[in-house]
């Protein structure tokens, strides 16, 4: 049963992703991206990683997509369709991508992954304790680094985007 | 002794490099000083060779004064540079420096005020250096090198008035024609050295060596390959000595200044061909019973006649003298051609050298005299002259001496040398003798036609009174006149002979009388036609009609050459080659350059400034590298 | 102590790791293709989002399938999402600034660093 579900979601992801990168209308491309993100979060839910699924929906689907839509609205002439890409370029890019894909799949399928069946569910408290833990399994260092990164991003975004006072 | 060619070389370099700082007349004095030293040394060496140390056991020694190997191919085949002293080169050691010295002194007066005075003296010294190197050569290759050098000096001197188009054309013509002849020389030289295995003169003229060559089995079209080599070498000599049909450059070479004509085209360079044949004379005589020598004789005889006929009709006095030179050199070649080998048989050889010596004297004198006349009258043409004996006394007397000498009137020098030639010819080949005999008469006639027309005809209107030449010009004339008058008494057969031992000659009064007689006949005819102003000559010319026209136009040989080169060679051979060179050879080079530019234009599109393109290169590169690494690691 | 639910599989039933990894690879390369092909700066950012998402899914899946006791992949994918958000914000700031300068977001107008 879950298998069918998974395939359905997988196909949806792929189709929407493809349409996101080939559509000539900017708005539609972003909406397709939204659907892709929703699909990805449903995968997270399927493997019982509820926290990340929720974070994905909140941050990605809720925050970033809104950010995109806002900036598109700021840029005029966005309603007009983008110009067509030359076929040569599409073909060459397609070949490179397919080639890379083939290589990656080949690498994946020739490696014997040892999967372990287990029933551990990660709860939010586990995640929280891991994030701020500084013992063996503690990830407090990356946490601090990420917070500084976010601070820098915030400051940087404001610096870049503000207008000069005339 | 090695100073002899080196002093003129030093003068040439000095004047050539510093020609802006050294002006006339200092450069003239430098040139004359250098030549004086060279002449005195040469005379001393030559005379002491002949009278003092040369004669050993009744035979003249061939002394190698100096020899150094330049390129070493095998033990026998070496290109050496050296100085050879033997009777032949000793004779030339008197002729060349003497004439050159006289010309240097003469040019002080003649070239006064001309632009390029220093350049003139520089090239004169270069020429003297080349000619001396030529006559002192030890092997054929060294002669070839100096041969070319002489050609180059001649080119620079003929084209001295480089602003005049006709002079430039004449210089080019001289150089190209002699270069073409030198092609034959080079091929002959290479064949000869290949089959004989050596360049060296002493080996090549060794009789035993020649006999071994005669046994060579290689033939080409019926003649031994050595004979072909000799004929080709003679072709080179014929070009330089203006034999038919390679004579076309000599009349045009008169565009150069008159001292140049005297030095190069009368006395020294044009005898280089004769010198070459004389050097290789044993080979010419002994290889295959002297077939090559027959060629020499017939070419010489034909040229003599040909040139004398043309000289009868020319109006430009320098052209008359040029054709006269051609004719006299024909005599020299003819004499070599009819010569035998051995004591009295080698009369022709000795006579040829003797005539070379005396001819240098009186021909140089004639040219320098012509220069004085041209200097006085400012025109080259006989029609503008007349009655000059009153105005130019010294020139008149010396010119008369030279004219008598060339006509073979005793006791002047020309009589003795020409008589020996005719005697040798009479013993060998009656037809050639007869040709020479007729030409002696014609020589007298055209020479005295020139003399009377210039000095005796009626006085035309002169724009300004012609004045006698300055001392620097008349003194050489007098010295040369002295030599022309009295050098006939030198017992040449005591010095120069085919087998290097002296022999005795005597005058055959029968033959001598005949040649003197026909000479006097020619003079009398000239008196008739030209002493007093009359139109007898014009009536004769009209009577000859078409024949006169042909002769006056030098038998249209020049036009024939032009036709061949322009219509046939240029259009059909040179033009395709030029096209090939321009489009294919240059095209390939340009194509390589252009294609490089084209490729780089295409490649520069790779750096497009678009990040997406860079990302594409990046991803494809990463994919390829990981694929390679994976396969390498797996294996 | 957590109430241990009955032993359930964390893995998705019936789906092996290979298929999920295939899915993420395809998503990744679609993103790459989009990055090469798009002519609008914001559309290029969309492709970058795809790439980052596929990477995050990869981390979580491998963590869940091969190391169920550990948490490294889970935590890291949180970080990935954080970084992606920051990056998007900054990129959009730059694009808007650029738009103020040259009045265009086409990649064609940004070729000043070419030959």
Per-residue pLDDT tens for B136-145? 888 888 888 8
Average of per-residue pLDDT across B519-527: 81
CA distance C54 to C23: 9
DSSP letter, residue B53: I
Q: Does C48 touch chain A (CB under 8 A)?
A: no
Q: What's phi and psi for B59, nearest 5 deg? A: -140, 140
For position C1, what pLDDT does the model report?
44
For position A37, what pLDDT does the model report?
95
Query: Do the Cβ atoms of C8 and A119 come within 8 Å?
Result: yes
Give the three-state DSSP class for B411. Answer: coil
Percent of chain B, pLDDT > 70? Answer: 90
Query: Do the Cβ atoms of B609 and C111 come within 8 Å?
Result: yes
Give the Cα-Cα-Cα angle B392, B397, B398 (nearest 5 degrees): 105
For position A133, what pLDDT does the model report?
81
**Interface list for B 578-617 with A (CB within 8 A):** 616
The answer for residues whose C-beta is within 8 angstroms of residue B86's C-beta and 6 or more apart is B60, B61, B62, B63, B500
For position B597, what pLDDT does the model report?
93
* B489 or B132: which leads in pLDDT: B132
Query: Do the Cβ atoms of A96 and B623 come within 8 Å?
Result: yes
Query: Do the Cβ atoms of A99 and B623 come within 8 Å?
Result: yes
For position B15, what pLDDT does the model report?
76
For position B624, what pLDDT does the model report?
93
As beta bridge partners, residue C106 has C40
CA distance B244 to B247: 5
Confidence of residue C4 (pLDDT cuts 50, 70, 90): very low
Domains in chain A with CATH codes = 2-122 (1.20.120.1200), 123-166 (no CATH)
Q: 């070498």: which residue's tokens?
A: B233
Chains with 3+ CB–CB pairs under 8 A to C are: A, B
Q: Which helix (H) or strand (E) holds B223?
A: strand B223-224
Q: How many CB pairs under 8 A join A and C?
A: 234
Which residues in chain B have their CB less than 8 angstroms from residue A93's CB?
616
B357's tokens: 């010596």
Mutation target for A interface from B627, B628, B629, B631: give the one with most A CBs within 10 A.
Answer: B627
Chain-wide mean pLDDT for chain B? Answer: 81
Q: Does A91 touch chain C (CB under 8 A)?
A: no
CA distance C115 to C109: 15
Q: How many CB pairs under 8 A join A and B?
A: 15
Query: DSSP string of B114-155?
Result: -TTHHHHHHHHHHHHHHHHHHHT-SBHHHHHHHHHHHHHHHH
| Residues of C engaging B, defined by a Cβ cutoff of 8 Å | 32, 35-38, 44, 107, 110-115
For position C10, what pLDDT does the model report?
60
Query: Do the Cβ atoms of B616 and A92 come within 8 Å?
Result: yes
Query: Do the Cβ atoms of C114 and B615 come within 8 Å?
Result: no
Of B604, B605, B615, the CB nearest to C35: B615
Which of B60-69, B367-376, B597-606, C84-93 comes out lowest in average pLDDT?
Answer: B60-69
* A119 or B178: which leads in pLDDT: B178
Query: Do the Cβ atoms of A119 and C9 come within 8 Å?
Result: yes
As beta bridge partners, residue B59 has B56
Strands (E), B10-99: 55-56, 59-60, 63-72, 78-85
Domains in chain C with CATH codes = 17-108 (1.10.287.3510)
Residues of chain A with confidence (pLDDT) below 50: none
Average of per-residue pLDDT across B363-388: 82
Which of A53-57, A141-145, B52-56, B555-559 comes out lowest in average pLDDT?
Answer: B52-56
**Rg of chain C's alpha carbons, rounded to an integer?**
19
Count CB neighbours of B525 within 10 A: 15
DSSP letter, residue A83: P
For position B539, what pLDDT does the model report?
72
Task: Check pLDDT > 70 for residue B54.
Answer: no
Which residues in chain C have their CB less than 8 angstroms from residue B610's CB?
107, 110-111, 114
Omega of the bond prior to B25 within 30 degrees of 0, cis?
Answer: yes
With CA atoms as reference, the chain B residue closest to C111 would be: B609
For position B2, what pLDDT does the model report?
66
Mutation target for B interface from A21, A82, A99, A110: give the one with most B CBs within 10 A.
Answer: A99
Average of per-residue pLDDT across B298-323: 87
Q: 């601070």: which residue's tokens?
A: A151
Residue B568 Cα, gap to closest chain C Cα (Å): 55
* B46 or B537: which leads in pLDDT: B46
For position A77, what pLDDT does the model report?
65
For position B1, what pLDDT does the model report?
64
Of B620, B626, B630, the CB nearest to A96: B620
Q: What is the pLDDT of residues B357-368, one digit of tens each?
A: 888 888 888 888
Most confident of the ranges A32-36, B32-36, B404-408: A32-36
Task: Check pLDDT > 60 for residue C101.
Answer: yes
- Buried b or exposed e, range B313-339, using 16+ CB within 10 angstroms: bbebbbbbbbbbbbbbbbbbbbbbbbb
For position B61, what pLDDT does the model report?
66
Task: Check pLDDT > 90 for residue C24.
Answer: yes
Which residues in chain A have their CB less than 8 angstroms from residue C29's CB?
97-98, 100-101, 104
For position B38, what pLDDT does the model report?
84
Which residues in chain A have their CB less than 8 angstroms from residue C74's CB?
49, 52, 122, 127
Alpha helices in B378-507 (DSSP H): 393-407, 413-428, 430-455, 471-486
Predicted complex ipTM: 0.88
A64's tokens: 């970033």
Average of per-residue pLDDT across B250-272: 81
Confidence of residue B375 (pLDDT cuts 50, 70, 90): confident
Of A13, A75, A119, the CB nearest to C10: A119
Residue A69 Cα, gap to closest chain C Cα (Å): 10
Query: Do the Cβ atoms of A153 and C23 come within 8 Å?
Result: no
Chains with 3+ CB–CB pairs under 8 A to A are: B, C
Phi-psi region of B429 (alpha: psi -120 to 50; beta: other; left: phi over 0): beta
Helices and strands, counts by H and E, chain B: 27, 6
Query: Do the Cβ atoms of C111 and B616 come within 8 Å?
Result: no
As beta bridge partners, residue B78 has B72
Residue B624 Cα, gap to closest chain A Cα (Å): 9
Task: Check pLDDT > 80 for residue B5.
Answer: no
CA distance C2 to C19: 32
Which of B119-128, B133-142, B338-347 comes out lowest in average pLDDT?
Answer: B338-347
Contact B101, B36 (CB under 8 A): yes
Query: Do the Cβ atoms of B608 and C111 come within 8 Å?
Result: yes
Query: Do the Cβ atoms of A100 and B619 come within 8 Å?
Result: yes
For position A88, what pLDDT does the model report?
87
For position C2, what pLDDT does the model report?
47
Q: Does B609 touch chain C (CB under 8 A)?
A: yes
């Amino acid at each position: 049963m879950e298998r069918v579900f998974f395939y359905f979601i997988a196909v949806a992801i792929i189709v929407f992703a493809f349409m996101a990168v080939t559509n000539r209308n900017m708005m539609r491309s972003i909406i397709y991206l939204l659907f892709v993100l929703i699909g990805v979060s449903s995968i997270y839910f399927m493997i019982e990683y509820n926290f990340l699924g929720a974070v994905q929906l909140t941050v990605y689907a809720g925050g970033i997509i809104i950010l995109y839509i806002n900036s598109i609205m700021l840029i005029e002439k966005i309603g007009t369709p983008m110009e067509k890409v030359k076929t040569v370029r599409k073909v060459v890019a397609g070949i490179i991508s397919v080639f890379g894909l083939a290589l990656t799949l080949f690498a994946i399928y020739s490696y014997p992954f040892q999967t372990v069946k287990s029933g551990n569910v990660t709860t939010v408290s586990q995640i929280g304790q891991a994030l701020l833990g500084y013992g063996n399994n503690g990830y407090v260092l990356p946490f601090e680094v990420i917070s500084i990164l976010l601070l820098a991003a915030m400051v940087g975004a404001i610096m870049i985007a503000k207008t000069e006072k005339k | 002794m090695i100073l002899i060619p080196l002093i003129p070389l030093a003068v040439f370099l000095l004047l050539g490099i510093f020609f802006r700082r050294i002006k006339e007349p200092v450069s003239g004095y430098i040139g004359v000083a250098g030549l004086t030293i060279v002449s005195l040394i040469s005379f001393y060496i030559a005379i002491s060779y002949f009278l003092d140390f040369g004669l050993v056991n009744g035979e003249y020694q061939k002394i190698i004064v100096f020899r150094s190997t330049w390129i070493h191919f095998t033990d026998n085949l070496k290109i050496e540079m050296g100085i050879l002293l033997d009777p032949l080169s000793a004779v030339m050691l008197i002729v060349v420096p003497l004439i050159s010295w006289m010309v240097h002194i003469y040019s002080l007066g003649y070239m006064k005020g001309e632009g390029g005075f220093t350049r003139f003296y520089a090239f004169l010294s270069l020429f003297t250096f080349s000619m001396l190197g030529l006559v002192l050569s030890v092997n054929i290759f060294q002669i070839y090198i100096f041969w070319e050098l002489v050609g180059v000096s001649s080119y620079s001197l003929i084209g001295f008035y480089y602003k005049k188009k006709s002079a430039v054309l004449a210089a080019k013509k001289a150089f190209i024609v002699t270069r073409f002849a030198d092609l034959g020389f080079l091929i002959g030289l290479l064949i000869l050295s290949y089959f004989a295995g050596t360049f060296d003169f002493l080996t090549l003229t060794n009789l035993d060596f020649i006999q071994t060559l005669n046994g060579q089995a290689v033939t080409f079209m019926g003649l031994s390959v050595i004979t072909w080599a000799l004929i080709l070498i003679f072709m080179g000599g014929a070009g330089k000595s203006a034999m038919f049909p390679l004579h076309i450059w000599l009349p045009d070479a008169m565009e150069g200044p008159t001292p140049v004509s005297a030095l190069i085209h009368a006395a020294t360079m044009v005898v280089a061909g004769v010198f070459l044949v004389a050097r290789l004379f044993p080979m010419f005589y002994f290889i295959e019973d002297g077939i090559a020598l027959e060629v020499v004789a017939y070419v010489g005889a034909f040229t003599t006649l040909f040139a004398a006929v043309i000289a009868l009709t020319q109006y430009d006095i320098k052209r008359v003298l040029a054709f006269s030179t051609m004719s006299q050199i024909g005599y020299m070649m003819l004499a070599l051609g009819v010569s035998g080998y051995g004591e009295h048989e080698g009369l022709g050889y000795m006579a040829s050298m003797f005539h070379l010596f005396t001819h240098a004297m009186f021909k140089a004198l004639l040219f320098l005299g012509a220069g004085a006349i041209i200097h006085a009258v400012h025109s080259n043409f006989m029609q503008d002259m007349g009655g000059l004996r009153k105005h130019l006394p010294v020139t008149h007397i010396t010119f008369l001496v030279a004219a008598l000498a060339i006509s073979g009137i005793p006791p002047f020098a020309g009589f003795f040398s020409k008589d020996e030639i005719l005697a040798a010819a009479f013993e060998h080949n009656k037809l050639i003798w007869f040709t020479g005999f007729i030409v002696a008469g014609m020589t007298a006639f055209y020479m005295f036609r020139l003399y009377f027309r210039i000095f005796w005809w009626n006085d035309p209107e002169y724009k300004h009174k012609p004045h006698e030449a300055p001392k620097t010009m008349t003194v050489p004339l007098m010295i040369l006149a002295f030599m022309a008058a009295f050098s006939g008494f030198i017992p040449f057969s005591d010095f120069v002979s085919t087998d290097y031992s002296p022999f005795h000659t005597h005058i055959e009064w029968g033959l001598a009388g005949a040649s003197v007689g026909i000479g006097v006949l020619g003079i009398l005819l000239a008196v008739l036609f030209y002493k007093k102003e009359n139109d007898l000559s014009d009536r004769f010319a009209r009577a000859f009609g078409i024949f006169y026209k042909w002769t006056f136009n030098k038998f249209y040989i020049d036009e024939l050459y032009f036709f061949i080169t322009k219509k046939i060679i240029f259009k059909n051979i040179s033009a395709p080659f030029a096209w090939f060179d321009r489009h294919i050879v240059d095209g390939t080079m340009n194509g390589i350059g252009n294609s490089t530019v084209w490729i780089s234009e295409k490649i520069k599109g790779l750096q497009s400034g678009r990040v997406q393109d860079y990302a594409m290169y990046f991803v494809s590169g990463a994919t390829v590298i990981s694929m390679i690494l994976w396969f390498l690691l797996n294996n | 102590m957590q109430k241990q639910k009955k032993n359930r599989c964390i893995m998705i039933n019936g789906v092996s790791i290979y298929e999920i990894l295939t899915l993420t690879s395809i998503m990744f390369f679609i993103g790459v293709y989009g990055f090469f092909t798009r002519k609008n700066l914001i559309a290029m950012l969309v492709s970058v989002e795809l790439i980052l998402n596929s990477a995050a899914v990869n981390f979580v899946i491998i963590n869940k399938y091969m190391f169920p006791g550990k948490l490294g992949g889970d935590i890291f994918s949180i970080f990935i999402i954080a970084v992606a958000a920051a990056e998007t914000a900054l990129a959009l700031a730059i694009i808007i600034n650029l738009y103020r300068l040259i009045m265009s977001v086409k990649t064609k107008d940004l070729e000043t660093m070419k030959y």
